[in-house]
Amino acid sequence: MNRAIKKEIKFFLLSDYEKEEAYLTEMHRTGWKLKNVSYGSVYTFEKCEPENVVYRLDFAQDKEKDLSYYIAMFGEYGWEYMQDVNGYSYFRKRTDGLAEEDTELFSDSESRFEMMKQIINTRLMPVWVIFTGILIPNFVKAIMHGFDHIPFHTVLTVLFVFLFAGYSYVILHCEIEFQKLKKKYTKK
């Protein structure tokens, strides 16, 4: 029997992993279990019985050197490893009858902050570097050339305006969301 397949395209930025977890968990709860993620944002689901399965994403920069050990260790805690996308590891687990702490990857705030720190240092920093080192100078240059009626310069101007806007959005969004996450997990 062929199972029904559904594909959805979603964009989750670096700071949106909890939203992605909630999205995948909700899909499974309504009878669509994740088959895989391709091209970073195409989610393929397979029809299934609605189940309470929680999805969690981990980001551990040093796991590459020993991925099989990493997967085996999470397996001991009941986590099924699915795949890696952009440095994030996708795990899932059935939650029926489980205590709340067994549905989480992290049991203290310090380790959540450590994961955020790794994402910021290895993923968000390069975005900042490209933005300040390449985009801002070229954006300024393009704007200055943009009004001299040479078509090629106009195309460049438009391109850099778009890139500048895109990068600004990504950086601003991530910085705000990471602040929210930090606040959420800071003890009151």
- Residues that bind other proteins in the complex, under the rule CB under 8 A: 56, 58, 60, 62-63, 66, 68-70, 72-74, 76-77, 79, 101-102, 104-108, 110-111, 114-115
The three-point CA angle 98-102-107 to 5° equals 150
| Residue 67 burial (CB count, 10 A) | 13
Report, in Å, the least distance between residue 90 CB and other proteins.
13
Which one, 117 or 180, has the nearer CB to other proteins? 117
Q: Is the Cβ of residue 76 or residue 96 nearer to other proteins in the bound state?
A: 76
41 versus 122: smaller Cβ distance to other proteins: 122
Strands (E), the chain: 5-9, 32-38, 42-47, 53-58, 80-85, 88-94
- Give the number of other CB atoms < 10 A from CB of residue 176: 11
Least distance to other proteins, CB of residue 34, Å: 19
CB of 89 to other proteins, least distance (A): 9
Nearer CB in complex with other proteins: 10/117: 117
Report the nearest approach of other proteins to the CB of residue 72 (Å).
4
The per-type count for the chain, helices as H runs and strands as E runs, is 6, 6
CB of 168 to other proteins, least distance (A): 31
Pairwise CA distance, residues 145 & 184, whole Å: 45
- The CA distance from 25 to 45, in Å, is 12
In the complex with other proteins, the residue whose CB is nearer, 91 or 139, is 91
The rounded distance, in Å, linking the Cα atoms of 22 and 54 is: 8
